[in-house]
Amino acid sequence: MTERGILIVLSGPSGVGKGTVRKAIFDSGEMDFAYSISMTTRKMRAGEKDGVDYFFRSKEEFEALIESGGLLEYAQYVDNYYGTPLKYVEDTLNSGQDVFLEIEVNGAMQVRSKMPEGVFIFLTPPDIKELKSRIMHRGTDEMAVVEKRLEKAVEEIKMMRYYDYAVENDKVENAVNKIKHIIESEHLKVPRVVNQYRKIIEEM
C-alpha cells in the first residue's frame, strides 16, 4: 500500500503573499506536491483562468456542491464562497502525493478537525502597513474591498495560534525556504519513516 501524502495548509491574511510564495515554491521544481484548485463564486480577475486559478462557479452551483458533501471545507469571505473540492484532495493524498491548500482561516480550522494530521502554516506580514500596501499595489480590488480585507486580516491574525508554524513573508525567498524546510522536516518525522520501514520489512 502507498504511504499517504502530507496535506499542507497555507493561510494568512489577504495580500500577505500566499499565492506569490506558493507559486515560487512550485516554480522552484524542488518539491513534489499537487496544488488543490479551489472553487469560488467571486468574479474572475483580469488574467485569471477558470480551472487554473480557481473553478469559478455560480452561487447555486456552489451551494449544490455543499449539499452533496463535495467540499472538504468552505467559507464565506468578503461576500463570496470559497471551498476545497474533496475528491481531488482525497485521491491525491491516497496516491502518495502531498497536497497544498491555500485557504483562509475558517476553512483551515474545518480541515484541522477533519484531517488533524495535516501541517498548518500561517504566513504573516512584516506589519499591517506593509500588508495594506501589498493589497493596494496588487491593484485587483476596489478600495471598499481592500478595507474589508484589512478588517478580516486583523481577525485572521488572531487565529495564528491554532497553526503549527508561523512564517514571516518579509522576502519571498526567505518565506519559500522556510516553508520548504518545514515540509522536508515533516517527511522526516519518525511515525512516517517508521511506517515506510514497516512496509519494506513486510515485503522482505
Ligand X SMILES: Nc1nc2c(ncn2[C@@H]2O[C@H](COP(=O)(O)O)[C@@H](O)[C@H]2O)c(=O)[nH]1
**Per CB under 6 A, which of residues 162..201 are in contact with ligand ATP?**
169, 171-172
Verify binding: residue 92, ligand X, rule CB under 6 A.
no
**Per CB under 6 A, which of residues 119..158 are in contact with ligand ATP?**
134, 137-138
Assigned C-alpha cell, 111: 480541515
Closest C-alpha to 9, from 92, 84, 96: 84
> Applying CB under 6 A, which part among 58-66, 76-84, 165-173, 185-193 lies near ligand X?
76-84
Q: Extract the annotated binding site.
A: 12-19
Beta strands in the chain (DSSP E): 7-11, 33-35, 39-40, 55-56, 71-77, 80-85, 98-102, 119-124, 165-168
Q: Which residues contact 154 (CB under 8 A, 6 or more apart)?
A: 128
Q: Extract the annotated binding site for ATP.
A: 12-19
Candidate list 7, 8, 93, 103; residue touching ligand X; CB under 6 A: 103
The residues binding ligand ATP (CB under 6 A) are 12, 14-20, 134, 137-138, 169, 171-172
